[in-house]
Structure 1
């Protein structure tokens, strides 16, 4: 009889222990999931903020063939990890090429999107968005004349050596001033196209 009671008690304690293990396991799983979710939330929240910045930076952008083709300076640069973009204050971009007249671009702000195979959709080329009192200036060269473009937005494609905009622009040359909406300029072949609403005022040469 005592043996039967002992066996029954053992079974009861084993059942209680099993229930306790299940309860502890459930609590551990809940706590782990809760903490993991909180960590994921904190990481996502943190990624909204810049993860690093550089003051008074100086950077050389290399072209696909390994030649230095753009020299970039600015007051400060921050990296935004969520979008993998660089935000630059007061950028100055100068082109380098022994075969062509260099150009210099100034702006109040720039956002740089680097090519990426990780992001969706993929970025197939570098794109620089320039904002606020953007100027593009090309000095007179052997095979080119002076040119200055003023606008509030400009897009630079460094690999293709192209600048373009759909905004209002002012084009200043030795021959006068031209106003237009939209522009496409290819520094490789020194070609510039004004897209619409073109109004020109020519200078009178003595």
Structure 2
């Protein structure tokens, strides 16, 4: 009995230490196996980096019937996926309307949307519509726009600019500080300091 009592006394001394050790091991196991809390991902804004380049290229767009709508040529092109735009060095754009009218645009630099229906022409920009026949059958003379910036909408046959432009229609010349031309409606709006030089038509007396 004395030996048993001595063993029990020693166990009672070390029991708290053993219990504390077991609790510590259990806590370590739970912490190690608990699912970790992930920090929320930081959403970074898309970078304006080109995802591909083209050199001495040509891009052609056709409608659902297979008719050629426009051609875009350039010395170098850079596509930016965040805005779906194509930046072009030395662009040359040729658009053909449903009536067959041909419009050619050139500039030092161009910025086109994904399908080429909207093009910003920057630096020595020129847009030329060759002579054609209107929807009602009337003859339309050659028309040309010149400026440091022209915004061409090839699908709706419209040209705009918020900078000085020179418009040549046949032999007539107009200038203005800003312009909005709608070829489908045959409406031209010039704003700012506007000046025009009209040449006499054949058979009309010069004034």
Q: CA deviation at 1:16?
A: 3.2
Q: Which residue of 2 aligns with 1:133?
A: 124
Q: Which residue of 2 aligns with 1:121?
A: none
Could you tell me whether the CA contact under 8 Å between 2:95 and 2:154 is conserved in 1?
Answer: no
Distance 1:201 1:70 in 2: 32
Q: Which has the higher helix share?
A: 1
Could you tell me whether the CA contact under 8 Å between 1:61 and 1:70 is conserved in 2?
Answer: yes
Q: How does 1:76-155 map to 2 (within 5 A)?
A: 76-97=76-97, 99-114=99-114, 126-142=117-133, 143-155=139-151
Could you tell me whether the CA contact under 8 Å between 1:100 and 1:188 is conserved in 2?
Answer: no
Number of aligned residues: 185
Distance 1:158 1:90 in 2: 18
Q: CA deviation at 1:204?
A: 6.5
Q: Which residue of 2 aligns with 1:53?
A: 53
Q: Which residue of 2 aligns with 1:197?
A: 193
CA gap 1:191/1:139 in 2 versus in 1, 3 angstroms: same
Q: TM-score, normalised by structure 2?
A: 0.71
CA gap 1:100/1:53 in 2 versus in 1, 3 angstroms: same
Distance 1:57 1:97 in 2: 22
Hey, which bits of structure 1, 4+ residues long, moved more than 6 A? Answer: none
Q: TM-score, normalised by structure 1?
A: 0.72
Structure 1's unaligned 5+ residue stretches are 116-124
Counterpart among 160, 171, 190 of residue 175 in structure 1: 171
Distance 1:131 1:50 in 2: 19
Q: Which residue of 2 aligns with 1:16?
A: 28
> What is the alpha-carbon root mean square deviation over aligned residues?
3.3
Distance 2:198 2:117 in 1: 36
Distance 1:190 1:64 in 2: 27
Q: CA deviation at 1:191?
A: 4.3
Q: CA deviation at 1:72?
A: 1.1
Higher-Rg structure is: 2
